[in-house]
Structures are given as C-alpha cells and as structure tokens.
Structure 1
Amino acid sequence: MKRIMTVMLAVIYITTGTISVMAGEPENNDAQKKESVSDSVKVQTSENTDEDRPKENSWRYLNGELIPQEDDATSNARAVTNAWKKVNGQFVNSLGKPIPGAKKKGMDISEYQGTINWDTVKNRSDIDFVIIRCSYGSGYKDRKWEYNVKECERLGIPYGVYIYSTATTVSAVEKEAENVKKMLEGHQPTYPVYFDMEENSVLNLGSSTIGKLANTFCSKISGAGYKVGIYASLYWWNSILTDRVFKNESWSKWVAQYSASCQYQSKYDMWQCTSSGKVNGVSTNVDINFWMSDEPVINQDADRVMVSDENIITYTSHIQSYGWQEPVNNGYQTGKPGYGKRLEAFKINVGGGYGDLGVRYQACIQDEGWKPLAETGQLAGTEGKSKYIQAVKISLTGSQAENYDIYYRVYSQNFGWLGWTSNGQPAGSQGYEKRIEALQIAVLPKGATIPGTTDNSYKTTGKKVEYRTYVEKQGWKKYSADGEQSGTIGQARAVQGLAVRVNDTQYSGNIVYDTYMQSYGWMGEKANNTAAGILNGGKRMEAIKLHLTGELAEKYDIYYRVHTQTFGWLDWAKNGEPSGTKDYAKRIEAVQVKVVPKGNPAPGATSIAFKEAKIAYKTHVQTYGWMSKVHDGETAGTSGKAKRMEALNIAMVDSSYNKEISYRTHVQTYGWQKWVNGGKNSGTEGKAKRLEAIQIELKDSLAD
C-alpha cells in the first residue's frame, strides 16, 4: 500500500490536481502507472529508497546486510577482555599479546553504525583516527558521510576516507572517482583516500582489468592532491590483486584479516583486525584498525613544513605541460605531485641579507646521469628535451653555510614522497626509471629538528651502467647492467646497434661510445643512451670503443668486451681501447660492459681484446671455385673433401703494401708460374690442374 500511494502521489505532482486517488486500485494498475512515471521522470539522489540503492555483496556483505564475522576476539576461548586495547604502552591482540609495529588505533565507519556520539568517541575512547565511508557505487552517498566528516573536523579527530567500489569498467570507476572528488571538496583528510575492493562482481574480471580499475581511481584521486590507498582482504591481496600496479609503493595498503595477527607478507600501512570492536560513542559493533607505520603522509602537508625563516631561499621548477612554476619560499613544495608530470629543471636562489651564503645543486637526468653542479640562480636539468630529473643533490656554500642545514625531499613516480635527506646527499632514485614530480626544501638553523622521516630518501638498484644491443631480426634487447650479457650467442645474429647510459654513480659525466660498422668503419661518438650503429640496415657491428668523461673518468675505469663470430669472447678492453675485430669481416654477437673503481683489477684477461687483420687470402678449389677470403693464420681451402686447390690470391689488408709482397705457384703439368704482386691471382682456373707448391717473398718494410 505504501508503494502504491508513493507512486500515485508522484503522478498527482507532475500532472494536474484532477486525478482521483483510490487506495483500493488493483495492483496491475499501480504497475502501469509506475511504468508511465518512470518513463517520464528519472531521479537519482543520495536519499533514494532502500529498494533503489544497490546492495553490497562481498565476503563482508550479503544483499546489503553485514555478515557476522568470526574472529579471534569472538570465537577463541582464549580471547581476553583487553583485546585490541593498549596495555603497558603497547596495543595487544585478541590473545593479549603485543601487536608488533602498531602505532595508532582507529575504526572505520559508515551508515551501518548509525548516529555516532562523536564527543564521546573523542573524550572517552582510545580511538586515534577514523576512516569514514563517503560513498558506494557510482553516485550513492553514504547517508552518514556529511555528519561524520563534519563531526570529525569539528572535534579535530584525524580521519581518512573510503569508497566501497562496485565498478567493473573503467568508465564506471571514473564516475566513482569524480563523485569522491566532489564529496571531498572543502575537506582535508589526514589519512589516505582508500579504494575498497571487495565486491563479488569484480572477482572474475581478471588481474589486468582489476589493476586498471584500481589505477584509474588512484590516478584521479592522487591527481587531485590526495594520498591514495587500496583496501582488500588478505585473500584478495594474495590471490586477486596480482597485477603489477598493486606494487605501487605510493599507494597505502590496508589489509583486512580477522585474526590475532596479520599474515600479509609485503609492506602494509593498516590492518583491519576485527569487525566486532566496541567503542564508546558507537552503539553497534565496529571495525577496529591499527596503523602499522610511522605517521601517515598527511595529504595537505606536502604544501609546506614549518621553518624559522621562509625568506632565506626561493626556488622554482619547470614541469612538463605546465612550464616554470611560480617561485616558492623556504619550506614549500614546487611541482605537481601525483599529476604524472615530470620535473625537468629547477633553480634555487638565496634571499638578501644573509651574508656569504650560497647554494649549489645538481640534477641526475634521464639517460644522461648526473650533470655538473649549478650555482645560485642557475638552471639544473633541461628545457625542451622532454627528459625527467630522477635525483637531486643540494648543499649550501659560503662562510655562513656552517650555521644551517639544508634538507630536501622529492615526490617520485610510484614511490610518492620519499624521506628527507640533507647537505649534498642524493634524493630520489636511480635505476628505476622514475621521474621526480615535485621538490621540497627546508633550510633550518644548524641542529634544528629534521622536518620529517629520513627513511628511503634515495632508492637505487646499485647498477652503475646499463646498456642494450640492437640484434639482427630481433630488435632492441632489454637493458643489461654491470657485466651482464647483451645480445645473443649461438644464433649467428649480428649486433647492429648499441646504446649505453649511466645508471647509479652519484658523479657527473657521461659514457661515450663508438661503433665500427661493416662497410662504414668508425661511425662517430655517441652518448646519453643515443643509439650508435646502423639499425636494421643489414650491416654488422665489428668493434666498439667506450670511455668516461667528467667526474666519472676520475673515479672509475670502464671495461668492455665482445663475443664475435668465429673467435667467441675476446678479452676486456678499457677506457677507449678498441674491442672486437677489424678487416676480418666478423660480426659482434654480444657485448658486456662493466664500470669498476679507478685502479681496481680488470674483470678478466686483457691481452687480446682487439684483432686487426694484416693479410687476407683466398683459394680456388675444385668444384667450389673461389672460396671466401680469410685472414691472419686462418685456413684457406678445404680439408677432408679430396678437392684440389687450383689457384691462390694473397693481399695485404692495407693495399698500399701489396707491392711489397710477391708470390708464385707450381701447377701440375705447367710447373712454376710467374711472380705476381699482392692482390693478383696465381695458378689456373677451369683446367683441372692441382696447385703443388707456393713461394712467397716479402720486400722493403714487410721484410723488416
């Protein structure tokens, strides 16, 4: 009856006042009227009736109803009365044992907790933070969202946010993200904005699709300036969320496992340990959570840190798509964290009135490594080259520098805000190909408190040089590093291109390299990961040379060797020496490169790194005719095939010496032939006469 009256009143509202309402109308008429109304008016609001709102279905919900969960706190006979409380300064689990790493205790809440007495929560509970559900699905606001968030802000209770996602497509998750962004307008959550992944409809989408959903949401929310995270059960984390995007270290991980301990093996920030928690001020059971890391990255703290003097420095950055940013003062951030835009350059200036105080800084650039130091006001980085900075170093100079420490940190792609470092130490990453998106600097009086954590200020693979080869019919191989093989062995494929880059050395300078190509010779030096050689041009690479420049050359030696056709691995060459062959017509098949500290032993033997042919010769053989040219001690002719040799041609590789070598052959029936100089044939062709003897004479410089 209630449903009939609701529909009929809607009809009266949108038509005229002349329609009669009869409570006893048959149900089929009601259905017809309801259909006609829905055809003309479709309204979706956050206050839709229970029948209209979608129903959550997951390991926690069945048709929108919470499923009672058994955990140690409720089912274990050994569960203690002080479960999940702080005892002697430590949080304990359902068995009364300390929870390793637990820093803060929180709860997550939604409309299912009803109207919470937040004054009681604030003053009479042990809750340190709250994670508030803002919405579920696309466009469905949690009925208690506005009340809960306003109360937390009124009382100063730190909070984060989560959305229960029902999206199964990218377009649907985009709508969810936009809805969350609108609801967050005017609010400043301290803890992350979490994407709750538990809906059953997502389970069979496949790891790649699930990864795209999560990445879409997190990219849009982080792009709006919020720290983001993923909520899922232990099973989901281990078995469902397997796409590589979930390794993004800038995403906070929230793990649900209702047990006395969390068995998740990777790093996580928050553990949801029970759904049957009791909190003063909340009339229902509530989920209890523990924050397991240091203080959270506060969403709004990226803007600035507290400093005693904001005017001592100013700095600016050049950001992809945005160009130069407005200068900011000491303690503030410059850049676009979370927008997916590379920081390409930066400048730092010192304010007036600080005496003999300057600043020196350095950028490690994509493919180019550490560039020379820049001084106060100069540009570090690049403009117009579309290259990102991946690490920086900053230090103070001048007689007043001893009175200050300069701290700095960077926002790095996938890693998020890294820890603080200071006074010329590297900040950022090398070897991971991750761009810096923002930079923050704080100049403080000597000995002042560090602005924040110093953990993970610089991430590195430890590999100093990376290189790759372009292989015939296979294209570019993956990067190899520090003596690893790049190329192929046993496949008779020529290397046709080479690219080398500095990876992690913390010193300025480049790796410069040259290639010797079939028909062309030495091609000219390249650097900074620029391709050297002739890609897919049908020409083999026969030799290489590499050397270091700048500080790299002062600190390191560079060794390299090649695997060549016929000769296999040659010995190691170093610092600009040629490696490979010349005039043997032998292809390079693989390359190894290694950088070692200056003066340290070579990686291996160094005696025969390069083979250059002096003499070339070929033979005319019964049945086969003229055979391929060979060099310097190689066998010419055939062996074990009972084929006669009929003629010979000998030449110096440097043809100017051909006049200094002469030879003649003794031929069956004909005897000794006339003497000929280098490059001429001696013997017979097509007469079926075997060559029986050879005489060779060297003259002038060759004779010496």
Structure 2
Amino acid sequence: MRIKKIVAMLLCASVFFTGVGVTNCVGYAVESTESPEKDMKANSWRFSDGQPIEQGRSVQMYSAESDSSNAWRKVNGRYVNSKGEVIPGAEKKGIDVSEWNEKINWEAAIADGVEYAIIRCGWGMDYTDQDDDWWEYNVSECERLGIPYGVYLYSYATNTDRASSEADHALRLLQGHHPSYPVYFDMEDSSTQDVGDAMLGSIAKTFCDKVSAAGYRVGIYASLSWWNTYLTDPVFNNGSWSKWVAQWSDACTYTGAYDMWQCTEKGSIQGINGNVDLNFWMVKSSDAEPVDVEDPNVIRYSSHMQSFGWGDEVNNGCQTGMTGYAKRMEAFKINVGEGYGDLGVEYQAYVNGDGWQQPVSNGEVAGTTGEAKAIGAVKISLTGIEADKYDIYYRTHCQTYGWLGWAKNGEAAGNQGYDKRVEALQIAVVEKGSAAPGNTGIPYKKAVIACSAHVQTLGWSNTVHDGETVGTTGMAKRLEAVKIAAVDEKLNSNIRFRVHVQTYGWQNWREGGEIAGTTGEAKRLEAVQIELTGELAEQYDIYYRTHCQSYGWLGWAKNGELAGTEGLSKRMEAMQIVLVEKGGNAPGDTKGAFVK
C-alpha cells in the first residue's frame, strides 16, 4: 500500500527539523489497490453486485414506463410526467450521471433540454481508486458549458469514522470546483441499513457537517422506502439539508418536504448512450410557484446568495434566491430581454446596516458581494417609452416574515429597520392595468421605534421593533428598565417616555435613546407613558400596552396615556409598541389599559 499522506508527514517533519518551522501540513488521499472496501459492490434497490438492475414493468414502485410521447418534457411551459400529466412544482429538469453513462456529449444534452446535472464524484472512503472514472471529464464539461451542477457520493459508511472519510473523499474531488446545486450523500446500500436509525442519522450528520463547514450546500439522496423506513432520525429534519427522493413512478408520493425528485431511470437524452436517470428540481412549500405571465422573456434576473454566490438567471414570473436555508440575499441584477424597444429597468437595494443604495439599471448589481451584508428591501420600476405598457410587481421572502405582499412600480418591498434578511425575490411584469399576481397587503415593514428592556435575572434583552414584544411572559420576571429609541437616531428628540418604578413612583421624562427605570436595585416597573413630538407626531399615533402580573395583557394606550398598574404592587413583565399612521385604527382593544 502506498500512502501519500505518510509522504506528506515525512516532508513536514523534514522541513520542520531543517529549521523552517512549518507545522501545518496538507493531507492527501490514500492511493491504494488494497482499499478495505475493494471487495464491496453496490447492493441496493437499484444495484446488484455493483451492476445496475434493469427494472421491469412489475416494479411499479420504482419503474416509470412512458405512456406519453411527451413524457418528462415541457408542454405549454409545464413539465409533464410519463402519462402526460402536469407535474406540480416541477421547476427544472436534470440528470444524474456516473461512469455507468460513459462519455457524454454535454452540448447535445443541453440542446435536448437538460437544465442541470448531479455528477457522481466517487464512492466510499477517501481512496483514489474509488474516484468515479468520468468525474473530471463531466465536471469540466459542465463548467466549460455553464451547466449548473451538483455532486453525489455513494456511501458504504456503517459508522461515523467511515462517514468522515467519505466526506474527505468528496472534499478532495471538489477542490477548485463550485457547484451551484448541493453535494449529496447517497444513502441506499443494503450493507448500511441494519446499523439503526440513530447511527444512520449520526453518519449523515458527520458527512453533512464536514462538507457544509467547507462552504458547500449539502443534501441526502435515498429512495422513498429508505426515507420512510430508515432515515427517520430527527437529524433528517434539518431544514438546511436538501432532500432528494428517488421514486420511479408518475408522481412522487413522499409526504415530507423535498427539493428533488428522481422520477425514472429510463430517461432518454441526446448525447447519452442508453438510459439515464431523470430528475426534477421542485418548488418547495416555502418557495413560490411561477406567476402565469403572458411574456416570460421580458425580463431575466438573478441573485447572489450567502454561501452559494450567483444563482442561475430566471425568467419573468419566477423566484430568485432560496427559502428554507436561512441564507441572506446579498445582491441582485435585472435585465430586459431583447426586442422590447425603449424599455429599461431601474432598481435599488436597502442593505441592512448601510441603508438605501443609489438606483442602478439594466444588468448592474444592486447590493453587495464579499461583504457579508444582507439586503433588507428593494424598489423596482420600469423606464423608457415602452414602460407605459406594463406594470412591474415584486415581493420578497424575508427572515421571520416569509412572503410579504406584492409591491408595484417603484414601491418599497421587504423590511427596513428590523434587520431581517431578504431570502428570495419574485418579480412579475404584466400588461398595464392587469390584476396583481396575488395579495398586495403589507409588502413593506419599516421599523421606526426600537426598544430593549432590562429583565430580572436575565439582564438586557435584544432590541425589538414596532409590534414586537420586549420582556417575557409566563416566567414571572419583572421589567426593571426600558430603553426606547428611534431607529433613525436623528429622530430621538421626537420621542418622550417615563416609567412608574416600585418605591420611587413616576420618574422624570426621558428622551429617545435614554434609559428609564433602574438596574441592580431589584425594583419592578409598574406602568409607562410614551408620546411623540415633532415630525413623528405629525405622521403617527403611538400605541403601547403592558403585560402585568395577575392581569396578563392590558388594553392599548395611546399618545401619552397611562399603561400598566399603579398602587397594586404588580410587576410589568412585557411591553409592545406599535406606530399607526395618524388617525389609523388601534392595533387592538383599548379598554383597560391602566389599572389603579
């Protein structure tokens, strides 16, 4: 057995003892003809002794014969199954390939409708004789031709040590490559199914944690039967792991959330000799179905996402970005299609921490890259003579809030002041005067007020904003002090507040940004008054309510009214503040805001 790692260690020691003092060495894969897995051959629902099983018509669960000449192709803009029926949620069609497919003409595959590929890099632990023979060719061709791709490694791991080596195997082959789809851990071999659900969970976590720590998106591949029978440990509910479900049928019947469906092993694609696995990238439950627009080509757009970089361009009506992975959108760009005359697009980003950027247009980048900053909100409008023919609608999927309502023609969409990241963006250009693509309620949440509180035994809380709760409920913890401020510090002089403190009574009025109450004295807050002045008072009414010992939530007070209790020795435990446009409706019941 020849082990390159030993050579590296000897080189390291040699360099160190010559006085250079290098102690950080790079490990290498084991290059061996005597791998401990050399006699292992894939055995699963789809392999027998390392050879693919030809699935017969009788294998209904796994085999999907084509009953339609358009099977697995687009018909009127929607993908259809083997029966010619529309596949709900199918967004993109791809293939997964390995050395079994031999040399592929990737240019022909693209021309035949392949939109992405998942490429096997190898199998088992980190031995070079377990690298896929066609890995380097396949990945280099996808990169040369700009085909989005992901990766998978076939696993034989029966313990976490082997899973760690399998992660090393994938990472070695991924060096210098940047897949836009996940790196999948293929869990199907029958030699691993008897280790128990908990161990399978630990094996998957070991692989995924190691690969994810290197900056790659990760996922698990398994058959429907495995997902339902073996991969039941809670670790597989990790929302940041992509799920790839194999069910060779006309529909995927997996009841959990999943990203990709392997629908058949009998796909026919130009440029590939013989059959090939076909897959569909699916719209997740939190992702947005494309809007049914008359002209899908009028605009195209893409986004730069945390960890994953620039995504593929999408057409009018589609979503860019990703939900369910807790990743921030950092930048985006929009282009108008060719042949639309004097039509342009102008857009700008609100970057959390930086504020609104200057507008950019026609393919320029809005936002930032390489600065780890999230977009919080966007504005988009059409320009030029032809703009009068269209309305442009757009909405954002934001951290905590999910999908907000649709904004239109330059309005703000997203959030400002709450420091919530935008995770996805959907845009729809429609004929002027057409109905909105969906709900237009609350497309934009702008925080004006920030509040934090000093809580018994817990200390200072995180800052919350308009409508959010500061303090605790159900824990019998007193509020001891509060700090109320304007998100825009220049407006702090427009806020006044004071509190009623145990023993001391009403304190003097404080201005925005100052602290009212006490710390370190074990004194409870019992009541509060808040009022606006100047510019803020002209625009808003300020409502606030308290959660008090024995009473729970009291009614909403407004514009300097008393809220809480006095003379009853009851602690304030939590508080909410809401700004309403001047003269607007109260956020709730205003009865019983103050008890004395």
Deviation per CA, 1:637-696: give whole Å up to 9, x if none: xxxxxxxxxxxxxxxxxxxxxxxxxxxxxxxxxxxxxxxxxxxxxxxxxxxxxxxxxxxx
- Are 2:266 and 2:277, in contact at CA under 8 Å, matched by a contact in 1? yes
Report the alpha carbon displacement of residue 187 of structure 1 after superposing the two structures with TM: 5.1
2:522 is the counterpart of 1:522: no
Aligned to 2:238: 246
Report the alpha carbon displacement of residue 607 of structure 1 after superposing the two structures with TM: 7.1
Report the alpha carbon displacement of residue 252 of structure 1 after superposing the two structures with TM: 5.2
What is the one-letter code of the residue matched to 1:100? P
Query: 1:123-522 counterparts in 2 under 5 A?
Result: 127-139=114-126, 140-152=130-142, 159-165=149-155, 179-185=169-175, 189=179, 191-198=181-188, 200=192, 203-205=197-199, 210=204, 213-222=207-216, 229-234=219-224, 240=232, 242-243=234-235, 246-248=238-240, 253-265=243-255, 268-277=258-267, 282=272, 285-292=275-282, 302=310, 363=350, 365=352, 391-393=376-378, 424-426=410-412, 434-435=420-421, 472=456, 482=467, 487-488=472-473, 494-498=478-482, 514-519=498-503, 521-522=506-507
Please report the RMSD computed on the Cα atoms of aligned residues, expressed in angstroms. 6.5
Rounded to whole Å, the distance in 2 between the matches of 1:138 and 1:526 is 64
Q: 1:414 to 1:108 in 2, by over 3 A?
A: farther
Q: 1:64 to 1:609 in 2, by over 3 A?
A: same
Query: 1:66-81 counterparts in 2 under 5 A?
Result: 66=52, 79-81=65-67
Aligned to 1:99: 87
Report the alpha carbon displacement of residue 109 of structure 1 after superposing the two structures with TM: 1.5
- Are 1:573 and 1:606, in contact at CA under 8 Å, matched by a contact in 2? yes
Rounded to whole Å, the distance in 2 between the matches of 1:413 and 1:212 is 28
Among residues 545, 554, 557, which one is paired with 1:561 in the alignment?
545
Report the alpha carbon displacement of residue 97 of structure 1 after superposing the two structures with TM: 3.4
- Are 2:123 and 2:154, in contact at CA under 8 Å, matched by a contact in 1? yes
Aligned to 2:582: 598
What is the one-letter code of the residue matched to 1:52? K
Q: 1:209 to 1:458 in 2, by over 3 A?
A: farther
Deviation per CA, 1:28-81: give whole Å up to 9, x if none: xxxxxxxxxxxxxx9822876695376556665577555666778767999545
Rounded to whole Å, the distance in 1 between the matches of 2:478 and 2:172 is 58
What is the one-letter code of the residue matched to 2:121? C
Deviation per CA, 1:323-349: give whole Å up to 9, x if none: xxxxxxxxxxxxxxx998997x9xxxx
Aligned to 2:31: 45
Aligned to 1:354: none
Rounded to whole Å, the distance in 1 between the matches of 2:236 and 2:159 is 19
Report the alpha carbon displacement of residue 531 of structure 1 after superposing the two structures with TM: 8.0
Report the alpha carbon displacement of residue 132 of structure 1 after superposing the two structures with TM: 1.2
Deviation per CA, 1:357-397: give whole Å up to 9, x if none: xx99774747xxxx9767799xx99xxxx996551345799
Q: 1:394 to 1:285 in 2, by over 3 A?
A: closer
Partner of 1:559: helix, strand, or coil?
strand
- Are 1:262 and 1:271, in contact at CA under 8 Å, matched by a contact in 2? yes
Report the alpha carbon displacement of residue 543 of structure 1 after superposing the two structures with TM: 1.7
Deviation per CA, 1:109-157: give whole Å up to 9, x if none: 213x152353796499665543211123442421221233345566776
Rounded to whole Å, the distance in 2 between the matches of 1:398 and 1:85 is 39
- Are 2:262 and 2:278, in contact at CA under 8 Å, matched by a contact in 1? yes
Q: 1:220 to 1:259 in 2, by over 3 A?
A: same
- Are 2:540 and 2:580, in contact at CA under 8 Å, matched by a contact in 1? yes
Partner of 1:240: helix, strand, or coil?
coil
What is the one-letter code of the residue matched to 1:542? E
Deviation per CA, 1:225-279: give whole Å up to 9, x if none: xx6655344466676374497324xx65433222220134566543101234455
Report the alpha carbon displacement of residue 409 of structure 1 after superposing the two structures with TM: 11
Unaligned runs of 5+ in 1: 1-5, 8-41, 307-337, 346-358, 441-445, 448-453, 613-704
Partner of 1:204: helix, strand, or coil?
helix
- Work out which of the two has the higher radius of gyration on C-alpha atoms and give 1 or 2: 1
Partner of 1:149: helix, strand, or coil?
helix
Rounded to whole Å, the distance in 2 between the matches of 1:96 and 1:568 is 58
Deviation per CA, 1:72-91: give whole Å up to 9, x if none: 87679995454744486665
Rounded to whole Å, the distance in 2 between the matches of 1:499 and 1:244 is 42
Query: 1:575-586 counterparts in 2 under 5 A?
Result: 575-582=559-566, 585-586=569-570
Rounded to whole Å, the distance in 2 between the matches of 1:587 and 1:562 is 10
Rounded to whole Å, the distance in 2 between the matches of 1:406 and 1:97 is 31
Deviation per CA, 1:161-193: give whole Å up to 9, x if none: 323356688887676556545534555656554
Rounded to whole Å, the distance in 2 between the matches of 1:268 and 1:387 is 28
Rounded to whole Å, the distance in 2 between the matches of 1:195 and 1:77 is 22
Q: 1:102 to 1:303 in 2, by over 3 A?
A: closer
What is the one-letter code of the residue matched to 1:522? Q
Q: 1:554 to 1:396 in 2, by over 3 A?
A: farther
What is the one-letter code of the residue matched to 2:123? Y
Rounded to whole Å, the distance in 2 between the matches of 1:301 and 1:420 is 26
Q: 1:513 to 1:188 in 2, by over 3 A?
A: same
What is the one-letter code of the residue matched to 2:239? K
- Are 2:94 and 2:278, in contact at CA under 8 Å, matched by a contact in 1? yes
Partner of 2:199: helix, strand, or coil?
coil
What is the one-letter code of the residue matched to 2:198? N
What is the one-letter code of the residue matched to 1:44? V
Q: 1:420 to 1:485 in 2, by over 3 A?
A: closer
- Are 1:191 and 1:298, in contact at CA under 8 Å, matched by a contact in 2? no
Aligned to 1:666: none
- Are 1:191 and 1:296, in contact at CA under 8 Å, matched by a contact in 2? no
Among residues 533, 540, 544, which one is paired with 2:524 in the alignment?
540
- Are 1:278 and 1:284, in contact at CA under 8 Å, matched by a contact in 2? yes
Rounded to whole Å, the distance in 2 between the matches of 1:186 and 1:558 is 55
Rounded to whole Å, the distance in 1 between the matches of 2:533 and 2:156 is 56
Among residues 93, 103, 125, which one is paired with 1:116 in the alignment?
103
Aligned to 1:10: none
Rounded to whole Å, the distance in 2 between the matches of 1:459 and 1:208 is 43
Partner of 1:214: helix, strand, or coil?
helix
- In the superposition, the TM-score normalised over structure 2's length comes to 0.58
Deviation per CA, 1:271-306: give whole Å up to 9, x if none: 101234455665565322124457997999829989
- Are 1:365 and 1:387, in contact at CA under 8 Å, matched by a contact in 2? no
Partner of 1:391: helix, strand, or coil?
strand
Rounded to whole Å, the distance in 1 between the matches of 2:503 and 2:422 is 43
What is the one-letter code of the residue matched to 2:232? I
Rounded to whole Å, the distance in 2 between the matches of 1:551 and 1:104 is 51
What is the one-letter code of the residue matched to 2:564? G
What is the one-letter code of the residue matched to 1:287? D
